Structure 1
Amino acid sequence: MAEPVTVSVDAGAKGKAISRDLVGIFFEDINYAADGGLYAEMVQNRSFEYQATEQPNWGPMSFWEVVQRGEAKVMLMVDAADPLHANNPKYAVLKVDAVGEGAGIANAGFGGMALTGGEAYDVSLFAMHLHNGNRWGKTANDGDAFPLIVRFESADGENLGEAQLEAPMPKRTWKRLSATIMARRTEKAARLLVLATQPGGVAVDVVSVFPQKTFRGRKNGLRADLAQVIADLKPKFVRFPGGCLVHGNGLSNMYRWKDTIGPVEERREQENLWRYHQTAGLGYFEYFQFCEDIGAAPLPVVPAGVCCQNAAHSQGLGQKGLPMALMGAYVQEVLDLIEYANGPVTSVWGAKRAAAGHPEPFGLRYLGVGNEDRITPVFKERFEMIYKAVKAKHREIVLIGTVGPFHEGEDFEAGWKIADELGLAMVDEHYYVAPEWFLANTRRYDAYDRKKSKVYLGEWASRGNKFANALAEAAYLTGLERNADVVPLASYAPLLGKIGNTQWNPNLIYFSNTEVFPTVNYWVQQLFSVNSGDVWLEPVVSGGGAANAVGVDGKVGAVEWEKCGFAVSVVRDSASGDVIVKIVNAGAEARSVQVELKGVSARGLSREAVKTVLTGDPAAVNDAKTPRAVVPVTGKTAVVAAGGGDAEIAEAVAGYSLTVWRIPGKK
């Protein structure tokens, strides 16, 4: 065992005020995080809007197939002559000449629809009866609308539950039809069939399947198990909807929030920057609602009037700015977002929020403008227009700028220059680097000027999902806690990755259609989130040998951190009075640690602490094969009286570990 270490802290000290909102989450629709992931819709390409610009072999009928059983005869096409809505132009048309033993279309969702036996599923679609001389010509029953059958089937054709929908109106008008199907048994890879009951013509659009058991039972809601794992992080804020997704693949692909609210059939679907499809079913209303449901502050990010500098589109390669003639309207769009979130029901956009079912304001406090943009004159001009308009009308909003995609370099420096010139309240730093960088840079923010803009560390992660990566991130988090007066917000990124459909690794949570796999990195984030405080107490660390005496007293450099990887953070939660000690031992050897707590009697601290330990093989990964390779283990530790109103905890800290002691106190 390595030489003992002593951590001494005055539990009764005033300490330094820090942000209690340090640990949040960053959600971007990458890795099928939304459609096929958190968004609970089970039909893929429900509105027949897929296109070859997303994937070369995709089109409006992708993931659909014609069903013709027995003597059935079906003709299928895609039309756009009478769309349900201008934002949703395409739909499928079925001309059924003979029903046979089954005539219609089928969809297997995102790699199969996972059904749970005994659970209810809401099935709906929009239908339009084609009659009396439709463009394919008359059939014998053209004048009569006919009901449709919706059915779940297994891969081998077993009927897993069905329902009959009423007939569409007997005229060329769209009508929403719905039913509930109870799954007869559990099936991991079912599919949905939409079947005709007699010959004739019918158009269908927005074919949808949702489990009734969504997160919090919300309509158009979220997948319950995946949303719950996110909620269990206890994030203090949620950044959405991206990421590079925000400024998009060209100006026409920028994420425009107004296209994502209202009835789902009226939302504008589009190509996802990450080369798949976004239905916008998970839109701004749903994001705000999810934040409220999990007690997290919303932190939306809007484009700064420019598209992604890495975009490849018809106008060429690189950053493009909205024409200045359009910027006035775009600035108003940003102001309208604030009104949508916070405005009274008597306001134009507050009324739209109320119409969606939420008359109370969402309490928006943060707004990000731009994401990892090249800091060019084109960007600067447009960013300043947005900033000045927001500050003139909404001084209560903390507007967050961007300083590029790296922790240093030309864009980083130029972004900070703009922040200094404008006096921005906060800027958004991003970096993905090796774990060794995090161990060597835990003091990055120690010397940041407290009079300048605060920092939101919006995207950060070491490059890997091994436990060694997570320990480096834990050590870095001790530095973020110490500096949470200047870094009030931080979010690991990306949040979600669907197994078999990832465009980026690593991610915080992996999932399939039926399972969720929190990574070892997830548990580090959760332990810091649920054990946050609003006062930092300075620990004095001693021992461990002359070469490896490391701590957080400002006397230790990068070389010692790399050798030892031993980090300490102590915070107090004013609401509960609890004192929380976190120790990261990223080295291989166990250490005998004595935590000396001064001023215990004054604070009324308990004589028993809750101890949580995360430890294991540094190469361990929580994946489908070993989902619980490294998980937290919680127990109790005695807080022993040491005389003079002081106390101590004396225990061995395992090699490769994060240990958290939470000592209950009084307010």
Structure 2
Amino acid sequence: MKKLACFFVYVFVCMGMGAQAQTAHKLKPKLPAGSKAISPHLFGIFFEDINYAADGGLYAELIQNRSFEYTASDNREWHPLTAWRFTTEGFGYGTITIETNSPLHANNPHYAVLNVEDEGREGVGLTNTGFDGIAVKGGEQYDFSVFIKQLTDNSFPVTVYLKSRKGKLSNEATFNTQGKDWKKYTAALTATETNDSAMLVIVAKTKGKLALDMISLFPKKTFRNRPNGLRADLAQTIADLQPKFMRFPGGCLVHGDGLGNIYQWKNTIGPVEQRITQRNIWNYHQSVGLGYFEYFQFCEDIGAKPLPVVAAGVSCQNSGGTWRIGGTGQKGFTPDEMKAYIQDILDLIEYANGAPTTTWGAKRAAAGHPEPFKLEYIGIGNEDKITPVFKERFKMIYDVVRAQHPEITIIGTTGPFHSGEDYDLGWQFANEIKVDMVDEHYYEKPEWFINNLKRYDTYARSASKVYVGEYAAHDAGRKNTLRSALAEALYMTSLERNGDVVSFASYAPLLGRRGHTQWNPNLIYFTGTQICPTINYYVQKLFANNDGDIYYSNIVTAHVPDTAKTFAASCVKDSKTGDIILRIVNRDSVPVPAKINLGSLGGLQSTAVVTTLSGDPMAENRCGDAQNIIPQTSNISIGKSFSYQAPANSLSVIRIQSRAKVKKQHVEKK
């Protein structure tokens, strides 16, 4: 009877499974011949705090070294008063010292002590020069704050204002200190004129001693008006890419310069005055004002899936400058340290996704976000040398996260290069333990990209998916030229063609502050006042703004020698809109006629929008140059079969709306 009962249960389950399979089949209609489903999240961004991308960049704080934590370990020329000047205008005098006896918070140990011996006519205090000057706009408001405690009994009138070398640039705001405990004071400053090299002045106007810390100045208008927010114009330029995901906070920054410099996400959340700053592996300082909460929030604001990356329990193999002698600086946490470190990673997932009643979900809620951040992916490791030390610690993390959070896709690494020993060992290891996805990196000359257009054609479809986490074509002098951008565009058509294997791809690095870069090329350059998108930026934008989830083969053809590697095309469909998107790349110095056959796709409009990027292949975009290469848009008439003349040295994106979509829009307007 037991056997018979089991048999009926088996039949029932199988019938149920069959019904589910039929339902699934209805939900996922069979794709036409010559097409395949590809990643709908293929093109995203990678943010790393390199080239002053965070402090002095995306993070909107205008004061440099706001908490006096700079040291020579950050940069050999730095000290706690870097970017500050002792101010004794109006014949006042006194002293300024940096102390640690009674800090605002143990995590933020340094603070300034101002001893006013004679306040003179205008007071004694400090002036901050910002990052290459403080850029302000006339009529705009700026939010000032500072923590102060009196070290003598008397109250101090404290005045703050903006100034230039010629005079004051804002109203003066004055407040009186209140007692010997640390207290936060705020003021609003309105700039009277636009200036790219303003300074912030804070002065005390009576004799005595007081302590100051966390001297801060933010534009009132941050991106989405977030407190402790992001620089609005730079954040919007990133948002305009419409990235489908965002990887953060690195990069090499994550696994750090030695175990003590590994990025610790818990140090970057909570009130900014309680966060633990640290040395940046790129030889400057991280205030971590742009921390994990801000990263998650920015992802949400721009509609990008968050993809945090954590170290794999090992430091960078180049720690201590060992890249000069073969990269032998990789060290691993001890077994006891690994237990705590793995718990930190589990806590990160809880911070992102846990209910407000959980320990770490409550901390997220306390920061103003009770809803989860909907974390789906996490990267473990970055460009690590594939050693026994790395493999052991990676697997310790992988096994625990996989067991406790099967809903999270784990992304591993195949080492620092696109080929070689670490690459081979990385793939072998990924296959052994069946990692969901692996991260491949390559920075190469345009010729490498052109010669590797079939790289992913032969990758096993049943193995780990691929995330091309960092790539860029660097031309002579590591410049962003149209030539390099078109090489990337050629390659990106191959990523679309292999979108069933390549799930994600992101250009790197994303940001670079002019005059303060540790790496070139970058996607977006900027100064305190200017945003300078490269030609490569526009290539990324044209792909990401026109992405699809179904790939069609053999839609676009051209009579060019296969060995020339000057022409490539792709065709994708956006299932949400029904639009068909064609990308045509021509690196030749002459126009190329392309034949387009849409007969198998049906139901399309007879007109299309074409956006073209073309020009001198060695051209570079420069800030404010009217001759910059930017996309040009026009309308063309099309049929089921038509020809398109691809301009010399160009990327063309042709977007064709479905008739059903246009009909729906017409009905909605009525």
Q: Tell me the TM-score normalised to structure 1 length.
A: 0.91
Q: Which among 77, 98, 104 is matched to residue 125 of structure 2? A: 104
Does residue 175 of structure 2 align to residue 155 of structure 1? no
Determine the C-alpha separation between the residues in 2 that align with 1:324 and 1:117. 57
Equivalences for residues 180-329 of structure 1 within 5 A: 180-312=188-320, 318-329=329-340
Match of 2:179 in 1: 170
Q: Which among 98, 101, 115 is matched to residue 136 of structure 2? A: 115
Q: Tell me the TM-score normalised to structure 2 length.
A: 0.91
Match of 1:590 in 2: 591
Match of 2:468 in 1: 457
Identify, as 1 or 2, the structure richer in helix: 2
Match of 1:137 in 2: none
The AA in structure 2 aligned to 1:634 is T
The AA in structure 2 aligned to 1:263 is P
Deviations 1:195-214 (A, max 9, x none): 11211111000000000100
SS in 1 for 2:584: strand
Q: CA deviation at 1:362?
A: 0.2
Q: Which among 489, 492, 495 is matched to residue 504 of structure 2? A: 489
SS in 1 for 2:502: coil
Q: Which among 470, 476, 487 is matched to residue 485 of structure 2? A: 470
Q: CA deviation at 1:463?
A: 1.1
Match of 1:398 in 2: 409
Match of 1:662 in 2: 655
Contact 2:555 2:596 survives alignment (8 Å): no
Contact 1:127 1:177 survives alignment (8 Å): yes
Deviations 1:538-594 (A, max 9, x none): 1155552xxx344xxxxxxxxx1xx24100100011111111111100111101223
Deviations 1:507-549 (A, max 9, x none): 00000000001100001111110111000001155552xxx34
Contact 2:252 2:316 survives alignment (8 Å): yes
Q: Which among 353, 356, 361 is matched to residue 367 of structure 2? A: 356
Equivalences for residues 641-652 of structure 1 within 5 A: 647-652=640-645
Determine the C-alpha separation between the residues in 1 that align with 2:321 and 2:492. 39
The AA in structure 2 aligned to 1:614 is L
SS in 1 for 2:51: coil
Match of 2:356 in 1: 345
Q: CA deviation at 1:157?
A: 2.9
Match of 1:15 in 2: 35
Determine the C-alpha separation between the residues in 2 that align with 1:629 and 1:313. 39
The AA in structure 2 aligned to 1:261 is I
Q: CA deviation at 1:401?
A: 0.4
SS in 2 for 1:92: strand
Determine the C-alpha separation between the residues in 1 that align with 2:467 and 2:587. 26
Deviations 1:317-374 (A, max 9, x none): 6111112221101000000000000000010000000000000000000100000011
Match of 2:145 in 1: 124
Determine the C-alpha separation between the residues in 2 that align with 1:455 and 1:411. 16
The AA in structure 2 aligned to 1:523 is Y
Match of 1:624 in 2: 623
Match of 1:554 in 2: none
The AA in structure 2 aligned to 1:357 is G
SS in 2 for 1:70: helix
Equivalences for residues 508-587 of structure 1 within 5 A: 508-539=523-554, 542-544=557-559, 548-550=560-562, 560=563, 563-587=564-588
Determine the C-alpha separation between the residues in 2 that align with 1:481 and 1:155. 53
Contact 2:383 2:414 survives alignment (8 Å): yes
Deviations 1:384-425 (A, max 9, x none): 010001001000000000111111011111111111111111
Determine the C-alpha separation between the residues in 2 that align with 1:309 and 1:442. 30
Match of 1:24 in 2: 44
Contact 1:614 1:632 survives alignment (8 Å): yes
Structure 1 outlier segments of 4+, above 4 Å? 11-14, 540-543
Gaps of 5+ in 1: 1-10, 132-142, 551-559, 641-646
The AA in structure 2 aligned to 1:55 is N
Deviations 1:129-153 (A, max 9, x none): 002xxxxxxxxxxx21112111100
SS in 2 for 1:367: strand
Determine the C-alpha separation between the residues in 2 that align with 1:636 and 1:394. 49
Deviations 1:113-135 (A, max 9, x none): 0010111100001001002xxxx
SS in 1 for 2:410: strand
Gap change, CA 1:199 and 1:369, over 3 Å in 2: same
Identity of aligned residues (%): 54
The AA in structure 1 aligned to 2:113 is V
Contact 1:607 1:639 survives alignment (8 Å): yes
Q: Which among 79, 82, 85 is matched to residue 99 of structure 2? A: 79
Determine the C-alpha separation between the residues in 1 that align with 2:556 and 2:652. 16
Q: CA deviation at 1:436?
A: 0.6
Determine the C-alpha separation between the residues in 2 that align with 1:532 and 1:317. 42
Deviations 1:150-205 (A, max 9, x none): 110012233422211331x322x100110111111111110000111211111000
Contact 2:317 2:331 survives alignment (8 Å): yes
Determine the C-alpha separation between the residues in 1 that align with 2:561 and 2:557. 6
The AA in structure 2 aligned to 1:96 is V
SS in 1 for 2:149: strand
Contact 1:120 1:181 survives alignment (8 Å): yes
SS in 2 for 1:383: helix
The AA in structure 1 aligned to 2:69 is E
Contact 2:558 2:593 survives alignment (8 Å): no
Does residue 53 of structure 2 align to residue 33 of structure 1? yes
Determine the C-alpha separation between the residues in 2 that align with 1:363 and 1:17. 24
Determine the C-alpha separation between the residues in 1 that align with 2:493 and 2:321. 42
Contact 1:430 1:458 survives alignment (8 Å): yes
Match of 1:556 in 2: none
Match of 2:3 in 1: none
Determine the C-alpha separation between the residues in 1 that align with 2:565 and 2:459. 25
Determine the C-alpha separation between the residues in 2 that align with 1:639 and 1:389. 55
Determine the C-alpha separation between the residues in 1 that align with 2:209 and 2:321. 39
Contact 1:616 1:629 survives alignment (8 Å): no
Contact 1:517 1:627 survives alignment (8 Å): no
Determine the C-alpha separation between the residues in 2 that align with 1:263 and 1:101. 36
Contact 1:250 1:313 survives alignment (8 Å): no
Match of 1:372 in 2: 383
Greater shift, 97-106 or 233-242, is seen at 97-106
SS in 2 for 1:588: coil
The AA in structure 2 aligned to 1:499 is R
Greater shift, 485-494 or 179-188, is seen at 179-188
Determine the C-alpha separation between the residues in 1 that align with 2:448 and 2:625. 28
Contact 1:152 1:193 survives alignment (8 Å): yes
Contact 1:543 1:549 survives alignment (8 Å): no
Determine the C-alpha separation between the residues in 2 that align with 1:397 and 1:183. 47
Of structures 1 and 2, the one with the larger relative CO (CA 8 A, separation 6+) is 1
